[in-house]
Amino acid sequence: MYSRNTHYLFYPAEPAAQPRRPAEPARNALPRVLRRLWIATRNSYHSFSLAWRPALLAMSAALALAGCGRDDIKAYQVPKESAQANQPAGQPDTSTTRKKPNLTWKTPTGWTEVAAGEMRVASFNVKNENGKRADVSVIPLSGTAGGDSANVNRWRGQVGLPPVPAEELQKTALRVEVGGQTAELHDVAGTNVSSGEPMRILGVIQHREGTAWFFKMTGDDQLVAQQKPAFIELLKSFQFVTAEEQATLPPDHPPIDATAAAPTTAAPADDAKPTWQVPSGWKEVAGGQFLVAKFMIGGGESGAQAAVNVSRSAGDGGGLAANVNRWRKQLGLNELAGGELAQAAKTIETSAGPATLIEMSGTDARSGQPAALVGAMVPQPGQTWFYKLMGDAKVVEGQKETFTKFVKEASY
């Protein structure tokens, strides 16, 4: 029997619609077809010859075992929305080639598992009696994802620490086990550059079959330090399947299999930003792996918010149509093509040359709330910069002119 705290990701086919019927006791929870086979086999046992009876008994046992442990397993159904719908702008379209990872783990006591979302395949919240919080994420990325030392130094920057050479990082790293293989755990502590509060990051990068797996715990300094043993135990509990058995990743995710992998289009490791003037009321926050910068905008007493994401991609980042339609899917809108796309997009002049601006409104695919989006694409030599303002429709409308000015005045 499996532990109740052990989670398994698997993806059963969606059953055909069936007439409603009263709930049945747990002991009769076998699918009706299997149960009928079991009854038929049991009732027909004495009508078969002795030679057939062992086979009937084996089949009966298999049918009985099919329902064992049903209450101890959690099943996660992959959303049917396009795998590209919420992927960061500039990511290649891999919706027809992506495979699904299968990952199991044991959730530490006191931790709360939350919906993965974004680029994550697993996500947890941790808090103490004082209300201090920490976030735990598991994110796989194709290739080397910019290099281990660059990523660790990015984490150091998030807590106000300067970068150090790779040799120094290895000296302070702790050897840990993740899914039966060794990896290095980096423990960095300092001050949250946005809030000024003490902050600690525990980060592990492990490479498996062309994929860089990121395991990260971020939050209050003392809480993360206290939960470090639990984090290490979580790392040990992870189990991976082979690449051939992997299933579909959550929506906001770059390819992780070799056949779909393309040169990474994440923000380069140096985190270089354009020169810009941050508008009043915009608060810069940690942007995550694919963003060069991220700003949150509050809507006053209503509590409504919007976010501004800034990212860059090699080349044209997949082109206008792919990125605009990806944004449209985030708002539950149909794709545009040809003349419709040309009519929706308009050209604006920026300090760096012509750029494309597009506006749209709909329903946020995640929250189910009305939302609006203003996106801009600024081509530069060898790369494209993507700006996206998205959130509460009223907040976006009120910030549209400020956002457009921000894009126009940024210099590269």
What structural domains does the chain harbor? 6-12+22-70 (no CATH), 103-245 (3.40.1000.10), 282-409 (3.40.1000.10)
* pLDDT at residue 138 tops 80: yes
Query: CA 167, 173, 178: angle at the middle one, nearest 5?
Result: 125
Q: Which range is least confidently modeled, 66-70, 135-139, 142-146, 346-350?
A: 66-70
Question: Does the model's pTM come out above 0.85?
Answer: no
Could you give the count of Cα atoms lying within 13 Å of 198 in the half-sphere of its Cβ? 8
> What distances in angstroms separate CA 388 from CA 158, 307, 337, 347, one per listed residue?
22, 8, 20, 16
* pLDDT at residue 113 tops 70: yes
Q: What is the pLDDT of residue 117?
A: 65
Instruction: Give the best-scoring range by mean pLDDT among 76-85, 95-104, 226-235.
Output: 226-235
**% of the chain exceeding 70 in pLDDT:** 66
Q: What is the mean pLDDT of the chain?
A: 75
Q: Which pLDDT tens digit goes with each residue over 291-332?
A: 889 999 986 777 889 999 999 888 887 888 888 988 999 999
Across-strand partners of 204?
185, 215
Does 335 or 24 have the greater pLDDT score?
A: 335
Contacts of 59 (CB under 8 A, 6+ apart): 37, 41
**% of the chain exceeding 90 in pLDDT:** 37
Nearest of 317, 71, 220, 281 to residue 202 by alpha carbon: 220
The residue-averaged pLDDT of 96-122 equals 74
* pLDDT at residue 166 tops 70: yes
> What distances in angstroms separate CA 86 from CA 83, 320, 323, 382, 395, one per listed residue?
8, 16, 10, 24, 20
Q: What is the pLDDT of residue 15?
A: 45
